[in-house]
Structure formats: structure tokens, C-alpha cells
Structure 1
């Protein structure tokens, strides 16, 4: 049985779970040969201090023949992308690999080689804006857990690398094998929701002018208050039509959509930090009824309010 060759790229300051999680997923199938490569062979320390032995260095490992390239992320990625030998090896391996992938901020290393140019990609929600600014040739989508664009795959932060690896296994070996691995590792085969369930203000731009700042400040000060177009126009000192146009131009979303998102985030905080009934949270956050909150929450976050509370509720945690 032919073994597919998976090369994991690491560097000093990499995120250990970006390596260990996907590595375990691939190894569970016994159908892949996993290799760890760094700028030089030997000890590489993760950002947490965990020591890992890279058996290969870029000077001695042939980049040809890599089936799947997996580039880890971590705090050291910004220095690593300035290593010409490492980036040259990634570019060479990526050019010939059947699949090129990144985990978390590993997308910065792929972007530095040009492998993400003209493609849609994701990364950790907290780094998405930076990736978009520094690499404008990349279309960055901050919400998905992972994205496939042709032969290039990218994933969100840390544990999302395991979601990505399961998807790669399913693509290669079928759903039954991927499901068996997921069950053994006690994982979702397909995790519900996107990154927006884990972050606050992930998506929001900043207003550029004082009138729009005034409207935005009013929304955030009391998400449950009346925030129709006439109300926001009064806060901004603009006509409703002018407010609609400028708000959308500066923030990239119309006022109604922005209000809805802020209310969802307020509900997220309330669900995680309080024991209040969903009905009370719905009224306080401007949804009116629990059913309206449930429908909006599921559309925006991808999970039900009760599921979100089960995952993120912190009150009374020992």
C-alpha cells in the first residue's frame, strides 16, 4: 500500500498544536508518512517551550515528492517568513505538491512565498486583518474553520488544524475512514459554526469620521435600544439617506446588518457570562423574542444559543 508523504514545516516559536493535532489525525489512518522539516535539523522549540525534533532540514530534504505540505503557525512565523532558505523550500515543495495547506498563522508563510496569491484563504481570526493588509493579493475570509481553494487549503486557529486534517483524510480515503479517526480522537467530523462563535468584533472595521463614530458608539453603548435608520441618523447628525451611504462605505456593511451583529455579540457575552434565561437575553439585546434571537443567532454564529452557552459558559467554573 502506497504511503502518501506529508511534510510538516515548523520553526522556533511554532504553535505545538498546529503540528501535533494534524499529525495525529494523519497517523491514525496508517496511510501517510509524516515528516517534520525545519530550517535546520534538530531541536525546535514551540512557542510554549515544548521541544520537538525536526528530523529534516531544508538544505538536505528534497522538496520533490511531497504529497501534502502542512505549514504550522505560531508567534515565530513572522521571523520565519524572513528566512530565505525556509521560504525557498516551501515554495519549491508547494509548487510540486498535490496539496498545500496552512494551519493558523502558517498562512503568513504561504503568503510570503506567493502560494496564496489570487486565492481565498483563512487564518486565526485575530490575525486575519493583518494578513489581508500585508498580502493584498490574498482574499482573506476570517470566519470559516477551513477553506479549500483548488489544491490550496488553509485553516483557522490552532485546533482547526485537526478539522482541516480530517477534511484532507476524507478527501483522500473517504468519509468512513475520516469518521473513524474523528470518533477515536473524540472530534467533530465537521465542527458546527465558524470562527465568529469564538471571537468578538472579528469582522468590524473602524469608522473613519466623527458622525459615523457617533452612530457606532450609540449602538455599542446599548445594543438593545432602538437603532433604526432614523435613530442612527439623529445620533450622526445626518439625513437617513446620507447616513446609510456613509455608514456602508466606512464600515463595509449597512447599518441594519451592523446593529444585528452587535446584538448577536452582546447575546454571546450574556450567554457566556450569566445564567439569565434566553428570553431575558433576547429582550435585553434588542431581539424582542427568544425565537428571533434563536433564528438570528443560528444564521450568524452557526449554532443555537443553548449550544453556545454549553460550550462557553464560565460562571461557577471551578
Structure 2
């Protein structure tokens, strides 16, 4: 045990050999001990299986990568597994889905400790999706929705994120915001440094890539849920913005899980 004694946040990562570690009694005892001393404990991807083996998930709301969430639920029935979440906080315990969801979780921890402004600066500076292909934006649509100065624009952005499969034309958005199209477009651009159409497409791509990373949802359903007319529209948007097809994007992250 070479770890420092005063660990604040303990992250347990997953991996292909995670099941082999469950029989390491020294590791299991160490996790149980640390769970009582650290300020918070978190798992990334299949690392939740190790926490389950150590008995740390009983009675907790948790998530993990879609490929092992069924196994997690069967093996640890006292845990409340939520299969479609990106990450979950239950008290001092945090669990996250795939590898990229661990990035979302890490940014959330930064925001929790240091505030929204610092988290946004970190997202911009480090480019949280640095390892993703193509011209990935510096932070997700959910983070972008926090940057607008006017509360009515922020509220409209949040509404967009919750209604991606609806008509999100600029006319519809202006109506939702209670503004004229011209005034809405001007204020939106002024506050967010992007157009309403660009924000909508970014939000839809963000939703689609999360489904591709963390669920086995068929491409046709991914396209519909994210608000694209059909899989071809989804494909064109991915190739234009990310430089890869949705299928290739999913393969990359399934192989990394």
C-alpha cells in the first residue's frame, strides 16, 4: 500500500482485468477501509464492479458502462443500478458510465469543489473531449447552456436540451423564449457566441454521441431521439463536425470500454 494516507477523493477505474482483482482480498479490504476515511469515492466505467465486490454499493443508486450494467445489477442486487445514466452521485459515492462519462464526472467534481467558472475554464483549457476524433467542441452542450448571461437564454438552452426531438427551428425557439425572431437571434448570438441553429445541432450531436458511447441503441433510434430526421442526417452531421461516421465513433468507444 503505497498510497498516501490522506486521500481526499478516491477514483476506482475499470478495465478488462477488473474481474481478476475481485479476488484480491488485500485490495478489497483496502477499499472498505478507505471508504470510511476519504471525503468521496468514485468509480469510472467497470470500476463499479470492484466497489460492488467490496460491498460498497449496497443500498446506493449507481451506474456503470452499459456493457456491464446488467452484470452489476445481477451480482449486487442490493445496489440500485440505473442503466441509462452518465454519472450518479449518492451521498459521498459517485459512479459513472463509460470512459468519457468519467470525464464528465471529473468536471462535475471540479465544479463541486471550485465552482462553475473554474469548471468552465478547465473545460475550455484542457478540451475535455481531447481524445475524441474530429473538431470536437471544447465542452458539451450541457456546459455551454450555463454560459449565457441572460437567464431567459439559459432557460431556453435547457429547454432545447430536454426537447431535442421536437421542432427546434429558430421561429419555434423565439416563440418559446417569448421574443421576436430578430431579437432572439441577436441576443442568443450575443450571449453564447453561436447561432441558435449551431447550438441545436451541437446539442443533438452531444446527445447522439452519449448514446453511441454508453448504450447499444440502434442508429435509427439514436437519430430519432437526438432529433435528426433520419440516420443519414445524423451521419452527415457527424462527418461534418467530428470527421467520423456514427458507426466508427461507436466502435472507437466500445473498444475503449
TM-score bracket for the superposition, by shorter chain length: 0.5 to 0.7
Structure 1-normalised TM-score?
0.47
Is 2:111 the partner of 1:95?
no
Aligned to 1:29: none
Aligned to 2:216: 200
* Structure 2: distance between partners of 1:106 and 1:308: 32
* Structure 1: distance between partners of 2:220 and 2:234: 10
Q: Deviations over 1:181-207 (max 9, x none)?
A: 101122325475485444325xxxxxx
Q: Could you tell me whether the CA contact under 8 Å between 2:238 and 2:246 is conserved in 1?
A: no
User: Structure 1, unaligned stretches of length 5 or more?
Assistant: 1-57, 202-264, 272-292, 298-302
* Structure 1 residues 176 and 107: CA distance shift in structure 2, 3 A: same
Q: Deviations over 1:240-296 (max 9, x none)?
A: xxxxxxxxxxxxxxxxxxxxxxxxx46247x5xxxxxxxxxxxxxxxxxxxxx5xxx
* Structure 1: distance between partners of 2:247 and 2:18: 37
Q: Deviations over 1:139-172 (max 9, x none)?
A: 1111111111111001111121111100001000
Aligned to 1:305: 228
Aligned to 1:314: 245
Aligned positions, number: 165
* Structure 1 residues 314 and 95: CA distance shift in structure 2, 3 A: same
* Structure 2: distance between partners of 1:112 and 1:193: 32
* Structure 2: distance between partners of 1:308 and 1:66: 44
Q: Deviations over 1:37-58 (max 9, x none)?
A: xxxxxxxxxxxxxxxxxxxxx2
Residue from 2, 12, 18 that aligns with 1:77: 18
Q: Could you tell me whether the CA contact under 8 Å between 2:63 and 2:95 is conserved in 1?
A: yes
Who wins on radius of gyration, i.e. which is larger? 1
Residue from 44, 68, 78 that aligns with 1:137: 78
How far did residue 104 of structure 1 move?
0.1
Secondary structure of 1:181's aligned partner: helix
Write 1 or 2 for the structure with the bigger share of strand.
1
* Structure 2: distance between partners of 1:88 and 1:315: 42
CA-based RMSD: 2.7
Aligned to 1:186: 127
Is 2:138 the partner of 1:160?
no
Bigger RCO (CA 8 Å, 6+ sep): 2
Q: Deviations over 1:211-250 (max 9, x none)?
A: xxxxxxxxxxxxxxxxxxxxxxxxxxxxxxxxxxxxxxxx
User: Structure 2, unaligned stretches of length 5 or more?
Assistant: 129-138, 144-205, 249-257
How far did residue 96 of structure 1 move?
1.2
Write 1 or 2 for the structure with the bigger share of helix.
2
Q: Deviations over 1:96-137 (max 9, x none)?
A: 111110000000011111111100111111110011011111
Secondary structure of 1:305's aligned partner: coil
* Structure 2: distance between partners of 1:316 and 1:105: 23
* Structure 2: distance between partners of 1:308 and 1:141: 27
